[in-house]
Amino acid sequence: MDLGTVLGLIAGVILIGTAIISGGEAVIYWDPASLLITLGGTVAATMINYSVRQVLSIFKLLKVVFITKELEPGEVTSLIVGFAEKARREGLLALEDEANELDNEFLRKGIQLIVDGTDPQLVRNILETKITFVEERHNQGQDIFRTMGTLSPAFGMLGTLIGLVRMLSELDDPSSVGGGLATALITTLYGSLMANLFFIPMAGKLQVKSEKEILMKEVIIEGVLSIQAGENPRIVEEKLNAFLPDAGVQRVVDSMEDPEMAVEDQ
Amino acid sequence: MDLGTVLGLIAGVILIGTAIISGGEAVIYWDPASLLITLGGTVAATMINYSVRQVLSIFKLLKVVFITKELEPGEVTSLIVGFAEKARREGLLALEDEANELDNEFLRKGIQLIVDGTDPQLVRNILETKITFVEERHNQGQDIFRTMGTLSPAFGMLGTLIGLVRMLSELDDPSSVGGGLATALITTLYGSLMANLFFIPMAGKLQVKSEKEILMKEVIIEGVLSIQAGENPRIVEEKLNAFLPDAGVQRVVDSMEDPEMAVEDQ
Amino acid sequence: MDLGTVLGLIAGVILIGTAIISGGEAVIYWDPASLLITLGGTVAATMINYSVRQVLSIFKLLKVVFITKELEPGEVTSLIVGFAEKARREGLLALEDEANELDNEFLRKGIQLIVDGTDPQLVRNILETKITFVEERHNQGQDIFRTMGTLSPAFGMLGTLIGLVRMLSELDDPSSVGGGLATALITTLYGSLMANLFFIPMAGKLQVKSEKEILMKEVIIEGVLSIQAGENPRIVEEKLNAFLPDAGVQRVVDSMEDPEMAVEDQ
Amino acid sequence: MDLGTVLGLIAGVILIGTAIISGGEAVIYWDPASLLITLGGTVAATMINYSVRQVLSIFKLLKVVFITKELEPGEVTSLIVGFAEKARREGLLALEDEANELDNEFLRKGIQLIVDGTDPQLVRNILETKITFVEERHNQGQDIFRTMGTLSPAFGMLGTLIGLVRMLSELDDPSSVGGGLATALITTLYGSLMANLFFIPMAGKLQVKSEKEILMKEVIIEGVLSIQAGENPRIVEEKLNAFLPDAGVQRVVDSMEDPEMAVEDQ
Amino acid sequence: MDLGTVLGLIAGVILIGTAIISGGEAVIYWDPASLLITLGGTVAATMINYSVRQVLSIFKLLKVVFITKELEPGEVTSLIVGFAEKARREGLLALEDEANELDNEFLRKGIQLIVDGTDPQLVRNILETKITFVEERHNQGQDIFRTMGTLSPAFGMLGTLIGLVRMLSELDDPSSVGGGLATALITTLYGSLMANLFFIPMAGKLQVKSEKEILMKEVIIEGVLSIQAGENPRIVEEKLNAFLPDAGVQRVVDSMEDPEMAVEDQ
């Protein structure tokens, strides 16, 4: 459950809603035809660019953003250091059973590879190739949202142009100018709102999440290879902690708290 | 037959068409002179940038987008693993006949090179050089569409400026202002519509297709070199599957379905 | 205490304030609802993109910008050259006590690693990994401000659109047009002001500070490894001075003073 | 003689010209003062950015675009394969006379270097350094056009602002509003036209030409080094053909004709 | 004395001046308050981003642009080839006296290092590190101008918004609309003029100059290392000439004169 995203969306909707209602009748801002052309046009152009399946995948991506429970990086480090200690005492094969119980499929795969006695270079190749493709897949998800964030204001402006042309060519009745212009502008409003309150921040969110996941996978690769090389658990911990500054990514912000630290921090 | 592109185009045209018709007379949106200046100007400037032949090539590119039947990545992997098994049992020469029957020219070329006993480094060089140039050629195709996507709104705005100057310099008759402005705006509408519903998503589509094709070619290179190195078919499969996460690229989206998976996936 | 930032902010506020007051009643520029939609919308969308904690971290980042006392690069160089001399005379272990008294945590960590007899390659790996993550963390801080600098004009424009639609749909009373338009434009004014006088320059400031800190850390890595390699202190100094042209970063500007120098400088 | 560029320019001018004339009096679009401020401002700012000589060089660049006869890549390949055969039969010295008759200075230089018995690594260094600088020189040419393509709409808008301020401050006579606005907009029209029909496509054209020339030079380097290494002419041909897919760059487009091919092509 | 920059600035000012004067009273374009808000706001925001010293440094940068006498690349090459000959005949030590008389500090430093018998790898490291920091320092100079080129139109627009809000909220007197709008637009005009005629081309100029200086420094590194390696002066010359195509950078343009050459050039 991602608190920031949920709070941000609610706050944004309330703010815009208040701005709309506080001015008087809110109904003038509701125009289904305008919504259809802005959102519909955006989805249509996105479908041309990607495929039906990829466009549908954004609902799954939304689930990822809102529901995903994240593993704390500290947990990963302590898991790996634990494995390193066990492997030192009892040998690599002793890891097999524990590995099978892991929820994290990437770590499980890594442990399995070294238990099978795979060549270290091949272990690295296989796991890094996996990361590369996870990264590409995540990038594609972000790209879909970014594309929609570019297209929705464009289709909003298109709707406004259609409304303007209509209104201007029927300028016989000057009293209708205001209303026509207002309706024409609604699509621009919708397009801009969708892009700035939804598509663009969502793409950013997916990127933040993706970077966190990729980082964790990189830590796992280093850890698994260290275990295979039979390195001292203390050195393994040292190495992995360099990846996760201080007490892990969750302290990223705190470490900036003390300005003295920010210049001298590690 | 690319479903997304076709559906997207039809949906987009219907949406815009409905928006136009629902407002009243649709004929005010049809202005051949405006179409000529927007589309003609875009094509003219594209021809200056590229060459006549390159501009004509976009019709061929459209065929690629709409008709191309795509090879499933899974097929490529199983083909190569099959070859690896045969080569292990019967030697590299045994692949010659089967390779000649392959539809995929890139794989055929690769098998031919190893059957001829070419040095592995040279095999890699030749095939990677081929990929580099396929990539550049594809990029050029995308660039043409992207260039048109930038030029068409610019020429739309140019047409509007021409119309505005005309209208403003003949401002004697105030009643004609609306109509003149409406006509002037039509080119901006056309330019924006072409760019956002056609040129830009089409460039994106070509990129998506190109990335898929390049990925498949990279899998083939790894596979062909593994066969030449006489690697164990099981290891070959392991290596290639790392390229094609899970059951191949077609599961890219599905693997994001389960949010739990997205964090832990492989 | 960063003089430029403080002076710039004060000067900017005075300039804009004077421009507003000199025209007459300043109260027409003060509209809490407009501020709420522009700033609130920006913060809401930023929260969707990042997390609650990351958004709150910008207050800490502001402290960094305004208060941080910077270490002069010259100091770092002379510290390291001093250590190099001591290590040559008395051995690496002699550095332990002095290192523990260092304020700069990164240098302390580096000295500690070589005192512990860590392998030089591992020392480099650990320290460079630390730099990488400090850099990423700083980039994220800058990105938050840059995101806000992009979002605030967008939400400003959104507020204006909401106001415009309202005003145009109530166009019965022509005398209210001016006032309505003025109010609608206030959000655009707020959004543009926030972005150009605050968010964007602040992101730039964080980048300038980050580059300076990263440079100092790179100097420390080279220095620590030179000490470990037992290099001649004179050569250590030569190497580090190449990093800090002339008498250190603080002379960057001066070295451009003499145009003759600028072409021939080192 | 570059057909696309010439046809594109003629078509563009005719299209815009028709759009202007078809509306009535064309003379309202002709304003030497507007041309002076738009084109003059663009040239002045370009001269500040570059130097007098660099700005004058664009006339030479135009000659390159319109007149240059291009060597077909196929010719280069067959020349080099011919040299490789001769060098195998009669030794490297036998290439001296033929090389001196070559029009292509880059190939001549390459052959001369290997005839002189220069070290292969040095041959590669010298030729690659030459390519790097040809590339930088070409980039500078494109940058000048791109800079002008950015500046001309900016100076067009500047001219419009000057006209608008004038017109608005003399608003006593409402009947002159239209004419004043029309004149003010002419500079925007000129600036946009110059950028989109000339400067930007011209920069693109220079880039397309440059990439083609660089590619040919890269083929020459590979070929010359293969000759020096005494490689089998058949292998030399194979290598160079990988650079020039199918029957050379001129088939780039054709190879996309068959959609089946596009997925499987080489 | 940089002719292009001076001529460009004079020509630009005359052109804009003529456009302003030819229309009638020029005094309507002069508004100190508008200048203050546009230029002042730009400087204030730049000071927030950088530091007081960095902002003041732009006056020194201007001196560099206008006054710097440039060394011709040909001179550098002939100097180095001369040193190479002397070093071959009389040994490296013979260069010491001549080096001390050099104006070019970078070359002097390089010669000094090899006379001192520094290890070639260390010579390269020290000199390349110096180049890296010269480059970063130059980039910072360009960035300040580019930042100002982005901020000045933004503050121009801000000034216009402030004026518009004022004007619209006092719309009682319709006759003052034109004048108010004219005054409001003046800041946009100022901001656009500053950016396009000064800040942006100036940033470009600094970049052109910087690239030229960096190139010369790279030639010096290659030359100094060749001298240290005791290479044949003829080969040294060959190597350095590859850096400076034809008769040096000053022939860059000429070599594009002959279109035949442009395709075949070296």
State whether residue C74 sits within 8 Å of chain E by CB.
no
C138-192 pLDDT per residue, tens: 888 899 999 999 999 999 999 999 999 988 887 666 666 777 888 899 999 999 9
Residue A239, pLDDT score: 81
Residue B261, pLDDT score: 35
pTM of the model: 0.85
> Looking at the predicted structure, is the pLDDT value of residue D197 above 70?
yes
State whether residue D21 sits within 8 Å of chain B by CB.
no
Q: Do chains D and A touch (3 or more CB pairs under 8 A)?
A: no
Residue C194, pLDDT score: 96
**Cβ burial, residue B125 (10 Å; 0-12/13-18/19+):** middle
| pLDDT-wise least confident of A149-158, A202-211, E196-205 | A202-211
More confident residue, A105 or A157: A157
List CB contacts of A41: < 8 A, sequence separation 6 or more. A151, A155, A158, A159, B12, B15, B16, B196, B197
Query: E195 contacts in D (CB within 8 Å)?
Result: 154
What is the mean pLDDT for each group of 10 consecutive residues in chain B (266 residues)? 84 91 85 92 93 84 73 82 91 87 87 91 89 86 94 96 88 71 92 96 91 88 92 86 56 35 36
Cβ(C169)–Cβ(A178) below 8 Å: yes
Residue in chain B closest to A172 (alpha carbons) equals: B175
| DSSP code of residue C118 | -
Interatomic CA distance for residues C157 and D39, integer angstroms: 33
**Cβ burial, residue A211 (10 Å; 0-12/13-18/19+):** middle
* CB within 8 Å of chain E, chain C residues 111-140: none
Cβ(C149)–Cβ(C38) below 8 Å: no
Residue in chain B closest to A54 (alpha carbons) equals: B253
Please tell me the total number of residues recorded for chain B in this structure.
266
State whether residue C82 sits within 8 Å of chain E by CB.
no
Query: What is the rounded average pLDDT of the residues E227-243?
Result: 85
Angle (nearest 5°) at CA C19 between C15 and C25: 135
Of the pLDDT bands very low, low, confident and very high (cuts 50, 70, 90), residue A263 is very low
| DSSP code of residue A103 | S
Q: Dihedral angle at the C-alpha atoms of A173, A179, A180, A181, nearest 10 degrees?
A: 120
Cβ(A72)–Cβ(A251) below 8 Å: no
Sign, Cα dihedral of B204, B210, B212, B214 = negative
Interatomic CA distance for residues D239 and D255, integer angstroms: 19
Could you identify the residue written with the tokens 């080099």? D80
Interatomic CA distance for residues E167 and C178, integer angstroms: 8
Q: Where are the alpha helices (DSSP H) in E23-119?
A: 32-35, 41-49, 52-67, 73-90, 95-100, 105-115
More confident residue, B66 or D118: D118
Cβ(C33)–Cβ(A19) below 8 Å: yes
Say how many CB pairs under 8 Å bridge A and C: 188
Query: What is the rounded average pLDDT of the residues A52-68?
Result: 80
Instruction: Determine whether the interchain pair E178/D164 forms a contact, defined as Cβ–Cβ distance below 8 Å.
Output: no
ipTM of the predicted structure?
0.81
State whether residue E145 sits within 8 Å of chain C by CB.
no
Mean pLDDT of chain C: 83
| pLDDT-wise least confident of C78-87, D174-183, D190-199, E144-153 | D174-183
Query: A71 contacts in B (CB within 8 Å)?
Result: 263-264
C213-264 pLDDT per residue, tens: 888 898 899 999 999 998 888 888 888 887 765 544 333 333 333 333 333 3
> Looking at the predicted structure, is the pLDDT value of residue A19 above 70?
yes
State residue A171 phi and psi, 5-degree precision. Answer: -80, 15
- Closest-CA distance, A53 to chain B, in angstroms, reads 8
Query: What is the rounded average pLDDT of the residues C112-125?
Result: 90
State whether residue C26 sits within 8 Å of chain E by CB.
no
Closest CA to D140 of D201, D203, D52: D203
Query: What is the rounded average pLDDT of the residues A59-65?
Result: 79
User: Between the CA of residue A33 and those of A46, A159, A194, B19, B182, what are the distances in Å?
Assistant: 19, 10, 16, 7, 21
* CB within 8 Å of chain E, chain D residues 146-205: 147, 151, 154-155, 157-159, 161-171
Interatomic CA distance for residues A32 and A190, integer angstroms: 11
Interatomic CA distance for residues A208 and B235, integer angstroms: 34
What DSSP element (H or E) covers D178? helix D177-194
Q: Where are the alpha helices (DSSP H) in B105-232?
A: 105-115, 120-169, 177-194, 200-228
- Closest-CA distance, A105 to chain B, in angstroms, reads 5
Neighbours of chain C (3+ CB pairs under 8 A): A, E
Interatomic CA distance for residues C231 and E118, integer angstroms: 13
Interatomic CA distance for residues D187 and D38, integer angstroms: 6
Nearest to C7 among E47, E161, E170 (CB): E47
3-state helix vs strand vs coil in chain B, percent to 5: 85, 0, 15
A234-253 pLDDT per residue, tens: 888 888 887 765 544 333 33
State residue C24 phi and psi, 5-degree precision. Answer: 135, -145
Instruction: Determine whether the interchain pair B168/D188 forms a contact, defined as Cβ–Cβ distance below 8 Å.
Output: no
> Looking at the predicted structure, is the pLDDT value of residue A174 above 70?
no
Neighbour count for residue C105 (Cβ, 10 Å): 15
Closest CA to B114 of B129, B101, B131, B127: B127
In this structure, which amino acid lies at residue B152? Answer: S
Cβ(D12)–Cβ(D215) below 8 Å: no
Mean pLDDT of chain E: 83
Residue E129, pLDDT score: 85
Cβ(E91)–Cβ(C247) below 8 Å: no
Report how far Cα D218 is from the mean position of its chain's Cα atoms. Answer: 18
Instruction: Determine whether the interchain pair B162/D29 forms a contact, defined as Cβ–Cβ distance below 8 Å.
Output: yes
Neighbour count for residue D129 (Cβ, 10 Å): 18
Instruction: Determine whether the interchain pair D16/B37 forms a contact, defined as Cβ–Cβ distance below 8 Å.
Output: yes
Cβ(E99)–Cβ(E108) below 8 Å: yes
Interatomic CA distance for residues C7 and A103, integer angstroms: 54
State residue B23 phi and psi, 5-degree precision. Answer: -80, -15
